[in-house]
Amino acid sequence: MGTIVESWTEWDPLRHVIVGRATDCHIPPNEPALEAKVPEDSDMRGQHGKRPQEMIDKGNELLDNFAAMLEGRGIIVDRPTPTDFSLPVTTPDFHTDSQFGCMPPRDVLLTVGKEILEATMSYRCRWFEYLCYRPLMQRYFDEDPGFRHEAAPKPRLTDADYHDNYLSEKIGVEQRLKWAAEKHFVTTEEEPLFDAADVLRFGKDLVVQHGFTTNLKGIEWLKRHFPDHRVHTVNFPGDPYPIHIDATFTPLRPGLILNNPQRRLPDDQRGLFERNGWEIVDAAQPAHNQPPALCYSSVWLSMNVLALDDKTVCVEASEVYQADQLDKLGFEVVPVDLRDAYAFGGGLHCCTADVRREGGLQDYFP
């Protein structure tokens, strides 16, 4: 018995982490939240069913190699237990014909101190994804007397959760950017919704993206749930498909954040960082013009890096410009081959969830 779970930031020394799996991953049938996210020119449009087995095998090989590399550095790595993702999800409120997978864990699990909170999620196909992590949660509960296992209220995800005008094949990027500037996203304010990957942890402060996967009620729920934290709402009007903050705004160490140059934090939201002497620098350009095949995410997974501590950062091996920038900023860069696993839900930050980082609760914005 002892502390297993404790992590307050994105950059303290990593000691224990969960790495996702590509096993049995499906492209789910269309549903409102997914349709809004998939770019109009994407090869994902109109597809569904189990992903090709050779892509799953390659994805798993890369994720296994990443896990082994972390273990080689003395970091404990746990893995989720896949369920049968071909099964439908049926509740009294909705039905969808198949599920998604157990990638990426960062979307589902939010670790704040000694607590791991299961997010509400906003995709119907991801409603049961938390089950893949329950064997780990049960073990942490049994072995760590300080561990708090929490689950946010499961949302109903009726049609009232989604704005109708996002449910069209041809909206166009211009219209999407206009809506993003107006903070009109696909999810309504029917009930609290959030994905864990919309939250960044800066000790006493949590920075949360308002976008497709997290609504204002979800942020209000987080404020009430973490009364000892300051919860800040941010949004990035340059992003026509705003889901998850971790390819947009990436804290690397106290005082330094990478920001996606196409999704700059608006001036009127910079006060917290500027008053406290934090530098927000434009991330390097991605090395690729297109995401890999059958991938939901953008090319900006280039900046979806995983900090092992405040001097050491894992960067996807082909992202040479991002690696070079981090090298010049004084980091030891650890290249990790992961691009062929991007299609399963994201990059190096996405495909992990913190269990323990050294260091206690600090106030970085006094």
Considering only 133, 273, 300, 331, the residue that binds ligand ABU (CB under 6 A) is: 300
The CA dihedral of 118, 122, 125, 128, to the nearest 10 degrees, is 20
Nearest distance in Å: CB 197, ligand ABU: 6
- Give the separation between CA 308 and CA 313, rounded to whole angstroms: 6
298 binds ligand ABU (CB under 6 A): yes
Residues numbered 234-263 forming contacts with ligand ABU, rule: CB under 6 A: 243-244, 246-247
Report how far residue 45's alpha carbon sits from residue 219's, in angstroms, rounded to the nearest whole number.
30
**350 is an active site residue:** yes
- Residue among 15 and 37 whose Cβ is closer to ligand ABU: 37
CA dihedral 239, 242, 246, 251 (to 10 degrees): 60
Maximum separation of any 2 CA atoms in the chain, in Å: 55
Measured distance CA(265)–CA(282) in Å, rounded: 10
Dihedrals phi, psi of 231, to nearest 5 degrees: -110, 125
Give the shortest CB-316-to-ligand ABU separation in angstroms: 13
Stretch that binds ligand ABU, among 109-117, 279-287, 292-300, 332-340 (CB under 6 A): 292-300
**Cα torsion 286, 288, 290, 294: sign:** negative
Q: Give yes or no for residue 197 binding ligand ABU (CB under 6 A).
A: yes
Q: Does 10 contact ligand ABU by CB under 6 A?
A: no
Residue placing its CB nearer to ligand ABU in the complex, 29 or 39: 39
Verify whether residue 228 is a known catalytic residue: no
78 is catalytic: no
Q: Which of 102, 132, 314, 350 is catalytic?
A: 350
Centre a 10 Å sphere on the Cβ of residue 165 and count the other Cβ atoms it contains. 12
Residue 245 Cβ vs ligand ABU, minimum distance, rounded to whole Å: 8
Q: How far is the CB of 239 from ligand ABU (least distance, A)?
A: 7
31 versus 246: smaller Cβ distance to ligand ABU: 246
122 is an interface residue for ligand ABU by CB under 6 A: no
Q: Does 297 bind ligand ABU (CB under 6 A)?
A: yes
Name which of residues 325 to 354 contact ligand ABU (CB under 6 A): 346, 350
User: Segment 15-34, which members bind ligand ABU (CB under 6 A)?
Assistant: none
CB 135 within 8 A of CB 224: no
**Quick one: which of 351, 362, 353 has its CA closest to 253?**
362
Q: How far apart are CA 269 and CA 232, in angstroms?
A: 9
Does residue 322 interact with ligand ABU by CB under 6 A? no
Amino acid in position 109: L
DSSP 155: P
Please name the residues in contact with 317: beta carbons below 8 A apart, sequence gap of 6 or more: 335, 336, 337, 338, 339
Using rule CB under 6 A, residue 199 touches ligand ABU: no
In the set 102, 244, 246, 351, the catalytic residue is 244
Which residues are marked as active site? 195, 244, 350
Residues in contact with ligand ABU by CB under 6 A are 197, 243-244, 246-247, 297-298, 300, 346, 350
